[in-house]
């Protein structure tokens, strides 16, 4: 034999050996894709699947795509489905058929739709696998073009059908059996089969034989290889389940992880990697008097993203993975655990909202806030003019503090009023706008804190001189700039923020901190921390002031008492306490009340000062109540002299 010819033969031989060995390993499951060339008329999907292991045929013509055959263990499926969403202008639609024998799962992805032809199920001993391409079909104008098995092109021509023949093997023995498998009695039932430390998806099923017992059944599904046992969902089956069954008392629990069928079926929300199936063969279990409890353990989920327990009722909507909330209650047990209480049996998981929780009534809340900011801005300007004139006639130490609060609130209301406009008109300046808005918020909160501290100083440090006004300006105007400058240097903190709403698909845009973990941490460290300190100190100061002035003569006048507490509540920032009550059934009411009080805060402060000045004039110039924190020192000195 010629040397060159001998080398060529050996090369071909090696290629054949390598290719055949690789395909033997990879072809345990099937992935067949192609381009369906069809007409312009209505399209349909026809499915006729039965149990067995003979062959599967995927065919197409001008108006229909058909999947028929016998390759399943559990699934028998026959239906016709109109395909209204996959019609393309060029009369060519991409599709793929996936077969996973270890889960008895067959699905079709056509266009952007994922259609389960056979739902995933538990592993049986026998399965149909190693599907090989069968006899060639006839060439036609309408049919399947560019047929591919995995990434290997079978033919560039347009064929009417593709046929694949399967082989029956013992899948459990071939792929799953390991020394860790066991047959042991369960704690509250008989564990018929289970697996330990086996690769996904072999060790995913546990069967329990329900017994006559008043106690429930606590079940822990065996973990697949590489998954920590404490991360595996745990299940509680109530005693009512035994009473709901008719004849078959075997409950099968199957654990699916990273199953692409469940993941691809969602858009606005993402299911957890873990899906638990609880079934009883040939029985529909629903409306249980006691719920089945499934505890999911997962990575940390931020409170900004809602969690919902859902189930997929394959009998109600078998042709689409639509997660339903009916029949399940969600119990959040911390940021790493979610417990689902459901009154039926099917597939269960936790759906995590990809976007933050949508805000209800956002349009109404925005209108209230915008109106309040506009009114407060005008009110703060009027209050600044009033305080400037008053400073010429009076030497009260509190006037510069009131002035600082009025200026910071005016800036906050102006920037908040403009942020929505700039976010939609010029996104390039949104980062600077967000930083300025954050500074104005911190400055306003800081000045409210200064009001609290100054009042405490006047009430309890009667004979000590108050700090100089320039110190207040440094604390109120300069200090808030420090964290803002630091955060501005860090990337992905300030910028465009989208707030999603339930009644409008278009999000509301504003310039603020971005929606990411880094910005959320900055929000809690700066805004929420300062807010907690302000609200707590403000409430304490209100109690101390009340204790000091409750016995004064002018306090007995109802309008003075009301005006004092109401005015100091706004002055001390205690209205921000409503922010912490945003939960449960109070959410909507708290949002409206909080938006109204805080957006109209500038107007309420102006109203307080104007009314107190008017009441002082009506009383002949004497200080009534605590008309201002500056007059408190005079009353405290008078009290000390009388004592």
| Dist. CA 44–CA 59, nearest whole Å | 12
Q: What is the pLDDT of residue 553?
A: 60
For residues 206 and 135, state if they share a domain.
no
Cβ proximity of 488 and 498 under 8 Å: no
What burial letters (b/e) apply to 208-231, b meaning 16+ CB within 10 Å? bebeeeeebbebbbbbbeebeeee
Cβ proximity of 47 and 72 under 8 Å: no
601 belongs to a structural domain: yes
For residues 298 and 398, state if they share a domain.
no
| Dist. CA 196–CA 635, nearest whole Å | 78
For residues 196 and 117, state if they share a domain.
no
Cβ proximity of 154 and 162 under 8 Å: yes
Does the N-terminal peptide bond of residue 119 adopt cis geometry, omega within 30 degrees of 0? no
Name, in order, each residue with C-beta under 8 angstroms of 336's C-beta and a sequence gap of 6 or more.
297, 298, 299, 300, 301
Angle between helices 362-393 and 399-425 (to 10 degrees): 150
CB hemisphere CA count around 176 (13 angstroms):
26
Cα–Cα separations (whole angstroms), residue 416 to 444, 494, 537, 605: 13, 15, 26, 18
The C-alpha angle 562, 563, 569, rounded to 5 degrees, equals 95
| Dist. CA 256–CA 202, nearest whole Å | 10
For residues 409 and 480, state if they share a domain.
yes
Cβ proximity of 483 and 442 under 8 Å: yes
| Dist. CA 552–CA 635, nearest whole Å | 9
Max Cα distance, the chain (Å): 127
18 belongs to a structural domain: no
Name, in order, each residue with C-beta under 8 angstroms of 133's C-beta and a sequence gap of 6 or more.
149, 154, 162, 163, 164
Q: Is 160 exposed, middle or buried (0-12, 13-18, 19+ CB in 10 A)?
A: middle
For residues 281 and 427, state if they share a domain.
no
Q: What is the pLDDT of residue 380?
A: 92
CA-CA-CA-CA torsion for 569, 573, 579, 585, nearest 10 degrees? 10
| Dist. CA 494–CA 487, nearest whole Å | 8
CA nearest neighbour of 189 among 161, 204, 210: 210
Q: What share of the chain is helix, strand, coil (3-state, %, to 5)?
A: 40, 30, 30
CA nearest neighbour of 55 among 135, 115, 156: 135
| Dist. CA 446–CA 609, nearest whole Å | 20
For residues 225 and 120, state if they share a domain.
no
Look at residue 482 and give its three-state secondary structure.
helix
Cβ proximity of 281 and 253 under 8 Å: no
| Dist. CA 436–CA 467, nearest whole Å | 28
User: Residue 205 belongs to a domain with what CATH number?
Assistant: 2.60.220.50
236 belongs to a structural domain: yes
Helix (H) / strand (E) element for 295: namely strand 292-297
For residues 228 and 330, state if they share a domain.
yes
Domain end marker among 156, 174, 192 = 174
In the numeric block, which tokens belong to residue 520?
A: 């959320």
Alpha helices in 135-198, H assignment, sequence order: 171
554 belongs to a structural domain: yes
CA nearest neighbour of 134 among 74, 71, 72: 71
| Dist. CA 617–CA 631, nearest whole Å | 15
220 belongs to a structural domain: yes
Q: What is the pLDDT of residue 122?
A: 75
| Dist. CA 108–CA 117, nearest whole Å | 7
For residues 516 and 578, state if they share a domain.
yes
For residues 101 and 159, state if they share a domain.
yes
Q: Residue 236 is part of which domain span?
A: 179-353
Cβ proximity of 412 and 440 under 8 Å: yes
What burial letters (b/e) apply to 613-642, b meaning 16+ CB within 10 Å? eebbeeeeeebbbbbbbbbbbebbeeeeee
10 belongs to a structural domain: no
In the numeric block, which tokens belong to residue 249?
A: 């008392």
Main-chain dihedrals φ then ψ at residue 169, nearest 5 degrees? -135, 165
Domain end marker among 297, 331, 353 = 353
Cβ proximity of 518 and 493 under 8 Å: yes
Cβ proximity of 542 and 567 under 8 Å: no
For residues 137 and 47, state if they share a domain.
yes
In the numeric block, which tokens belong to residue 441?
A: 């918020």
Angle between helices 529-549 and 430-460 (to 10 degrees): 30
For residues 496 and 618, state if they share a domain.
yes
Count of domains for the chain = 3
| Dist. CA 66–CA 70, nearest whole Å | 14
| Dist. CA 562–CA 170, nearest whole Å | 83
Main-chain dihedrals φ then ψ at residue 307, nearest 5 degrees? -120, 135
445 belongs to a structural domain: yes
151 belongs to a structural domain: yes
In the numeric block, which tokens belong to residue 435?
A: 């930083």
DSSP codes, 372-403: HHHHHHHHHHHHHHHHHHHHHH---TTHHHHH
Residues of the chain with pLDDT under 70: 1-26, 85-89, 176-204, 212-214, 224-227, 248, 260, 263-269, 303-304, 313-320, 353-359, 459-466, 500-506, 548-569, 582-587, 618-643
CA nearest neighbour of 203 among 249, 250, 256: 256
User: Residue 402 belongs to a domain with what CATH number?
Assistant: 1.20.1070.10
Domain end marker among 336, 353, 370 = 353
User: Residue 72 belongs to a domain with what CATH number?
Assistant: 2.60.120
For residues 450 and 376, state if they share a domain.
yes
């Amino acid at each position: 034999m010629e040397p060159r010819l001998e080398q060529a033969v050996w090369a071909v031989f090696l290629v054949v050996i390598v290719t055949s060995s690789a395909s033997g390993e990879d072809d345990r499951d099937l992935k067949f894709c192609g381009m369906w060339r069809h007409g312009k008329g209505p399209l349909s999907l026809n499915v006729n699947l039965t149990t067995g292991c003979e062959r599967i045929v995927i065919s197409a013509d001008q108006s229909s795509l058909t999947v028929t055959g016998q390759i399943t263990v559990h699934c028998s499926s026959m239906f016709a489905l109109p395909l209204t969403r996959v019609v393309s202008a060029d009369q060519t639609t991409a599709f793929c058929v996936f077969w996973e024998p270890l889960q008895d799962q067959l699905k079709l992805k056509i266009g952007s739709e994922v259609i389960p032809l056979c739902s995933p199920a538990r592993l049986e001993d026998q399965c149909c696998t190693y599907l090989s391409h069968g006899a060639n079909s006839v060439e036609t104008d309408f049919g399947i073009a560019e047929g591919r098995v995995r990434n290997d092109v079978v033919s560039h021509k347009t064929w009417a059908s593709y046929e694949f023949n399967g082989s029956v093997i013992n899948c459990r023995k071939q792929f799953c059996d390991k020394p860790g498998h066991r047959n042991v009695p369960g704690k509250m039932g008989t564990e018929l089969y289970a697996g330990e430390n086996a690769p996904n998806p072999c060790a995913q099923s546990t069967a329990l034989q329900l017994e006559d017992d008043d106690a429930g059944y606590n079940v822990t599904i065996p973990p697949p290889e590489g998954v920590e046992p404490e991360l595996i969902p745990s299940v509680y089956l109530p005693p009512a389940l035994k009473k709901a069954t008719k004849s078959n008392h075997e409950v099968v629990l199957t654990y699916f992880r990273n199953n692409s069928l469940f993941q691809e079926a969602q858009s606005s929300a993402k299911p957890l990697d873990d899906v638990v199936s609880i079934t009883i063969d040939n029985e529909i279990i629903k409306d249980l008097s006691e719920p089945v409890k499934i505890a999911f353990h997962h990575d940390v989920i931020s409170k900004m993203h809602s969690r919902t327990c859902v189930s997929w009722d394959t009998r109600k909507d078998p042709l689409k993975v639509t997660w339903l909330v009916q029949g399940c209650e969600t119990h959040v047990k911390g940021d790493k655990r979610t417990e689902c209480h459901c009154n039926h049996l099917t597939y269960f998981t936790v759906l995590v909202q990809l976007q933050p929780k949508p805000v209800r009534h956002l349009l109404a809340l925005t209108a209230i806030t915008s109106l309040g900011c506009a009114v407060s801005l005008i009110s703060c300007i009027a209050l600044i003019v009033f305080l400037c004139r008053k400073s010429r006639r009076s030497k009260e130490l509190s006037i510069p503090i009131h002035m600082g609060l009025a200026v910071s609130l005016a800036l906050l209301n102006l920037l908040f009023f403009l942020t929505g406009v700039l976010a939609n008109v010029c996104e390039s300046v949104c980062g600077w706008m967000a930083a300025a808005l954050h500074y104005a918020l911190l400055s306003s909160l800081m000045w409210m804190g200064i009001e609290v501290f100054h009042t405490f100083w006047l009430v309890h440090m009667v004979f000590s001189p108050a700090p100089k006004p320039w110190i207040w300006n440094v604390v109120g105007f300069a200090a808030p700039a420090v964290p803002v400058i630091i955060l501005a240097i860090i990337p992905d903190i300030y910028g465009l923020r989208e707030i999603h709403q339930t009644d409008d698909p278009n999000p509301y845009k504003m310039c603020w901190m971005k929606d990411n973990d880094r910005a959320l941490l900055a929000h809690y460290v700066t805004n929420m921390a300062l807010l907690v300190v302000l609200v707590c100190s403000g409430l304490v100061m209100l109690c101390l002031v009340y204790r000091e002035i409750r016995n004064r003569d002018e306090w007995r006048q109802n309008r003075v008492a009301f005006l004092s507490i109401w005015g100091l509540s706004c002055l001390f920032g205690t209205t921000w306490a409503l922010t912490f009550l945003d939960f449960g059934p109070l959410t909507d009411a708290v949002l409206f009340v909080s938006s109204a009080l805080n957006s109209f805060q500038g107007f309420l402060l102006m109203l307080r000062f104007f009314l107190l000045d008017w009441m002082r004039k009506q009383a002949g110039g004497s200080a009534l109540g605590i008309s201002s924190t500056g007059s408190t020192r005079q009353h405290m000195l008078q009290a000390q002299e009388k004592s």
